[in-house]
Protein backbone atom coordinates (compact mmCIF):
# COMPACT_ATOMS: atom_id res chain seq x y z
CA UNK A 1 0.00 0.00 0.00
CA UNK A 2 1.39 3.37 -0.96
CA UNK A 3 0.66 6.89 -2.12
CA UNK A 4 -2.77 8.39 -1.58
CA UNK A 5 -4.26 5.15 -0.21
CA UNK A 6 -1.65 4.95 2.54
CA UNK A 7 -2.03 8.63 3.31
CA UNK A 8 -5.82 8.31 3.59
CA UNK A 9 -5.64 5.08 5.61
CA UNK A 10 -3.24 6.74 8.03
CA UNK A 11 -5.72 9.55 8.68
CA UNK A 12 -8.91 7.48 8.83
CA UNK A 13 -7.31 4.98 11.23
CA UNK A 14 -5.92 7.88 13.29
CA UNK A 15 -9.42 9.28 13.85
CA UNK A 16 -10.77 5.89 14.96
CA UNK A 17 -7.76 5.19 17.22
CA UNK A 18 -8.13 8.59 18.88
CA UNK A 19 -11.87 8.12 19.47
CA UNK A 20 -11.48 4.60 20.88
CA UNK A 21 -8.60 5.62 23.14
CA UNK A 22 -10.51 8.57 24.58
CA UNK A 23 -13.47 6.28 25.36
CA UNK A 24 -11.16 3.60 26.82
CA UNK A 25 -9.19 6.04 28.96
CA UNK A 26 -12.28 7.88 30.25
CA UNK A 27 -13.84 4.54 31.21
CA UNK A 28 -10.68 3.44 33.02
CA UNK A 29 -10.50 6.75 34.88
CA UNK A 30 -14.17 6.97 35.84
CA UNK A 31 -15.25 3.35 36.43
CA UNK A 32 -12.20 1.13 36.12
CA UNK A 33 -12.98 -2.60 36.22
CA UNK A 34 -11.74 -3.60 39.68
CA UNK A 35 -12.00 -7.34 39.24
CA UNK A 36 -11.35 -9.96 36.60
CA UNK A 37 -15.11 -10.55 36.24
CA UNK A 38 -15.82 -6.86 35.52
CA UNK A 39 -12.91 -6.59 33.09
CA UNK A 40 -13.81 -9.82 31.31
CA UNK A 41 -17.51 -8.91 31.05
CA UNK A 42 -16.66 -5.51 29.62
CA UNK A 43 -14.13 -6.79 27.09
CA UNK A 44 -16.29 -9.72 25.97
CA UNK A 45 -19.49 -7.71 25.49
CA UNK A 46 -20.31 -7.72 21.78
CA UNK A 47 -19.93 -3.95 21.15
CA UNK A 48 -16.64 -3.77 23.06
CA UNK A 49 -15.23 -6.93 21.45
CA UNK A 50 -16.07 -5.52 18.01
CA UNK A 51 -14.71 -2.06 18.85
CA UNK A 52 -11.50 -3.59 20.23
CA UNK A 53 -11.04 -5.81 17.19
CA UNK A 54 -11.51 -2.79 14.93
CA UNK A 55 -9.10 -0.84 17.15
CA UNK A 56 -6.32 -3.37 16.63
CA UNK A 57 -6.99 -3.63 12.89
CA UNK A 58 -6.75 0.17 12.65
CA UNK A 59 -3.69 0.21 14.93
CA UNK A 60 -1.76 -2.37 12.92
CA UNK A 61 -2.50 -0.66 9.59
CA UNK A 62 -1.61 2.71 11.14
CA UNK A 63 1.64 1.23 12.42
CA UNK A 64 2.39 -0.26 9.00
CA UNK A 65 2.08 3.07 7.19
CA UNK A 66 4.01 4.97 9.87
CA UNK A 67 6.85 2.48 10.30
CA UNK A 68 7.08 2.04 6.55
CA UNK A 69 7.57 5.80 6.17
CA UNK A 70 10.27 5.75 8.84
CA UNK A 71 12.10 2.82 7.22
CA UNK A 72 11.91 4.39 3.75
CA UNK A 73 13.34 7.64 5.14
CA UNK A 74 16.25 6.25 7.13
CA UNK A 75 17.17 2.82 5.77
CA UNK A 76 18.78 3.33 2.37
CA UNK A 77 20.56 0.04 1.44
CA UNK A 78 18.02 -1.86 -0.63
CA UNK A 79 18.53 -5.34 0.83
CA UNK A 80 18.38 -4.08 4.43
CA UNK A 81 15.35 -1.92 3.68
CA UNK A 82 13.49 -4.82 2.07
CA UNK A 83 14.38 -7.21 4.90
CA UNK A 84 13.17 -4.74 7.53
CA UNK A 85 9.94 -4.08 5.65
CA UNK A 86 9.30 -7.82 5.41
CA UNK A 87 10.13 -8.26 9.10
CA UNK A 88 7.75 -5.41 9.94
CA UNK A 89 4.94 -6.91 7.85
CA UNK A 90 5.42 -10.37 9.38
CA UNK A 91 5.54 -8.87 12.88
CA UNK A 92 2.30 -6.94 12.34
CA UNK A 93 0.52 -9.98 10.89
CA UNK A 94 1.63 -12.10 13.86
CA UNK A 95 0.38 -9.42 16.28
CA UNK A 96 -2.92 -9.28 14.41
CA UNK A 97 -3.39 -13.06 14.60
CA UNK A 98 -2.49 -12.98 18.30
CA UNK A 99 -5.19 -10.37 18.98
CA UNK A 100 -7.76 -12.29 16.96
CA UNK A 101 -6.98 -15.41 18.98
CA UNK A 102 -7.32 -13.50 22.27
CA UNK A 103 -10.59 -11.83 21.36
CA UNK A 104 -12.23 -14.78 19.59
CA UNK A 105 -11.14 -17.73 21.70
CA UNK A 106 -9.87 -16.28 24.95
CA UNK A 107 -12.58 -13.86 25.94
CA UNK A 108 -15.91 -15.76 25.88
CA UNK B 1 28.89 20.56 -11.15
CA UNK B 2 30.98 22.21 -8.50
CA UNK B 3 34.46 21.03 -7.83
CA UNK B 4 34.39 19.59 -4.33
CA UNK B 5 37.98 20.61 -3.64
CA UNK B 6 37.25 24.30 -4.03
CA UNK B 7 34.11 24.20 -1.90
CA UNK B 8 35.31 25.51 1.42
CA UNK B 9 31.99 26.63 2.83
CA UNK B 10 31.61 25.55 6.44
CA UNK B 11 29.31 22.59 7.07
CA UNK B 12 27.62 22.26 10.42
CA UNK B 13 25.43 19.21 10.75
CA UNK B 14 25.90 18.72 14.48
CA UNK B 15 22.32 18.01 15.53
CA UNK B 16 23.16 18.99 19.11
CA UNK B 17 24.22 22.47 18.00
CA UNK B 18 21.51 23.20 15.46
CA UNK B 19 18.60 24.90 17.18
CA UNK B 20 15.49 23.39 15.66
CA UNK B 21 12.31 25.43 15.17
CA UNK B 22 9.55 24.43 17.57
CA UNK B 23 7.46 23.01 14.72
CA UNK B 24 10.35 20.66 13.85
CA UNK B 25 10.51 19.49 17.45
CA UNK B 26 6.78 18.70 17.43
CA UNK B 27 7.27 16.85 14.15
CA UNK B 28 10.29 14.73 15.09
CA UNK B 29 8.62 14.08 18.45
CA UNK B 30 5.62 12.71 16.58
CA UNK B 31 7.90 10.37 14.67
CA UNK B 32 9.94 9.21 17.69
CA UNK B 33 6.81 8.69 19.78
CA UNK B 34 5.27 6.74 16.91
CA UNK B 35 8.19 4.31 16.81
CA UNK B 36 8.07 3.92 20.62
CA UNK B 37 4.33 3.26 20.50
CA UNK B 38 4.89 0.68 17.76
CA UNK B 39 7.46 -1.07 19.98
CA UNK B 40 4.97 -1.06 22.87
CA UNK B 41 2.23 -2.90 20.93
CA UNK B 42 3.41 -6.47 21.75
CA UNK B 43 3.53 -5.62 25.47
CA UNK B 44 -0.05 -4.37 25.40
CA UNK B 45 -1.28 -7.39 23.45
CA UNK B 46 0.48 -9.57 26.04
CA UNK B 47 -1.25 -7.67 28.86
CA UNK B 48 -4.62 -8.07 27.12
CA UNK B 49 -3.94 -11.79 26.67
CA UNK B 50 -2.79 -12.39 30.24
CA UNK B 51 -5.49 -10.26 31.85
CA UNK B 52 -8.25 -12.20 30.09
CA UNK B 53 -6.87 -15.66 30.91
CA UNK B 54 -8.45 -15.75 34.36
CA UNK B 55 -8.34 -14.03 37.77
CA UNK B 56 -4.63 -14.85 38.40
CA UNK B 57 -3.69 -13.37 35.02
CA UNK B 58 -5.69 -10.22 35.76
CA UNK B 59 -3.88 -9.82 39.09
CA UNK B 60 -0.51 -10.39 37.35
CA UNK B 61 -1.17 -7.51 34.95
CA UNK B 62 -2.38 -5.08 37.62
CA UNK B 63 0.64 -6.02 39.77
CA UNK B 64 3.03 -5.21 36.89
CA UNK B 65 2.97 -1.56 37.85
CA UNK B 66 4.56 -2.26 41.25
CA UNK B 67 7.83 -2.74 39.38
CA UNK B 68 10.10 0.33 39.12
CA UNK B 69 11.30 -0.43 35.59
CA UNK B 70 7.72 -0.90 34.40
CA UNK B 71 6.82 2.47 35.98
CA UNK B 72 9.66 4.11 34.06
CA UNK B 73 8.54 2.47 30.80
CA UNK B 74 4.98 3.57 31.57
CA UNK B 75 6.17 7.18 31.82
CA UNK B 76 7.97 6.88 28.48
CA UNK B 77 4.77 5.41 27.06
CA UNK B 78 2.71 8.23 28.60
CA UNK B 79 4.84 10.85 26.84
CA UNK B 80 4.71 8.92 23.56
CA UNK B 81 0.95 8.45 23.69
CA UNK B 82 0.19 12.03 24.74
CA UNK B 83 2.58 13.64 22.26
CA UNK B 84 1.54 11.36 19.39
CA UNK B 85 -2.15 11.94 20.14
CA UNK B 86 -1.97 15.73 20.24
CA UNK B 87 0.63 16.14 17.48
CA UNK B 88 -1.49 13.78 15.38
CA UNK B 89 -4.58 15.94 15.88
CA UNK B 90 -2.46 18.98 14.96
CA UNK B 91 -1.38 17.29 11.71
CA UNK B 92 -4.97 16.30 10.91
CA UNK B 93 -6.02 19.94 11.37
CA UNK B 94 -3.13 21.10 9.16
CA UNK B 95 -4.31 18.57 6.53
CA UNK B 96 -7.68 20.31 6.38
CA UNK B 97 -5.86 23.65 6.26
CA UNK B 98 -6.55 24.75 9.82
CA UNK B 99 -3.66 26.59 11.48
CA UNK B 100 -1.40 26.74 8.43
CA UNK B 101 -0.07 30.26 8.96
CA UNK B 102 3.31 30.41 10.65
CA UNK B 103 2.26 32.12 13.87
CA UNK B 104 -0.55 29.65 14.53
CA UNK B 105 1.61 26.68 13.50
CA UNK B 106 4.28 27.75 16.00
CA UNK B 107 1.77 28.24 18.78
CA UNK B 108 0.06 24.90 18.16
CA UNK B 109 3.46 23.15 18.04
CA UNK B 110 4.31 24.69 21.42
CA UNK B 111 0.93 23.57 22.82
CA UNK B 112 1.48 20.02 21.53
CA UNK B 113 5.00 19.82 23.02
CA UNK B 114 3.72 21.03 26.38
CA UNK B 115 0.74 18.64 26.35
CA UNK B 116 3.16 15.72 25.87
CA UNK B 117 5.01 16.77 29.02
CA UNK B 118 1.73 17.28 30.89
CA UNK B 119 0.82 13.72 29.90
CA UNK B 120 3.96 12.48 31.67
CA UNK B 121 3.19 14.58 34.76
CA UNK B 122 -0.34 13.18 34.99
CA UNK B 123 1.03 9.65 34.56
CA UNK B 124 3.57 10.35 37.31
CA UNK B 125 0.84 11.41 39.72
CA UNK B 126 -1.15 8.29 38.84
CA UNK B 127 1.50 5.59 39.07
CA UNK B 128 4.29 6.82 41.33
Please give the distance of CA B79 from its chain centroid, rounded to a whole number. 5
In a domain, B58, yes or no: yes
Nearest chain A residue to B34 by CA: give it. Answer: A66
Nearest chain A residue to B49 by CA: give it. Answer: A102
- Which of A66, A73, A84, A91 to probe the B interface (max B CBs under 10 A)? A66
CATH topology of domain A3-106: 3 helical TM bundles of succinate and fumarate reductases (1.20.1300)
Q: Average pLDDT of A3-31? A: 94
Please report, for the domain that includes residue B33, its CATH number: 1.20.1300.10
Report the domain count for chain B: 1
pLDDT digits (tens, 9 = 90+) for B23-53: 999 999 999 999 999 999 999 999 999 999 9
Please give the distance of CA A31 from its chain centroid, rounded to a whole number. 24
In a domain, B11, yes or no: no
pLDDT digits (tens, 9 = 90+) for A48-95: 999 999 999 999 999 999 999 999 999 999 999 999 999 999 999 999
| Mean pLDDT for all residues in chain B | 92
Domain segments of chain A as ranges: 3-106
Check if A51 contacts B (Cβ < 8 Å).
Answer: no
Residue B50: give the domain boundaries: 22-127
In a domain, B114, yes or no: yes
CB-based contact B42 A36, cutoff 8 Å: no
Q: Average pLDDT of B6-28? A: 85
pLDDT of residue A3: 81
pLDDT of residue B80: 98
Instruction: Pick A106 or A27 by higher pLDDT.
Output: A27
In a domain, B83, yes or no: yes
User: Shortest Cα distance from A65 to chain B (angstroms)?
Assistant: 11
CA–CA separation, A86 and A81 (whole Å): 9
Contact (CB, 8 A) for B33 and B79: yes
Model pTM?
0.91
**ipTM greater than 0.90, yes or no?**
yes
B69 CB burial (10 A radius; 0-12, 13-18, 19+): exposed
Amino acid sequence: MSGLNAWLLQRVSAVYLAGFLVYFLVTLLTCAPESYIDWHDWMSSIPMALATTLFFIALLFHAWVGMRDVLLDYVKPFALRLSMLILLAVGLVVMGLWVVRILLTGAP
Amino acid sequence: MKNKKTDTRPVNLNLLKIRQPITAIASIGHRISGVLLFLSIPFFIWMLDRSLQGPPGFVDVTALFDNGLIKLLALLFAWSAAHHFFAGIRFLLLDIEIGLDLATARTSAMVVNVLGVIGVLIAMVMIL
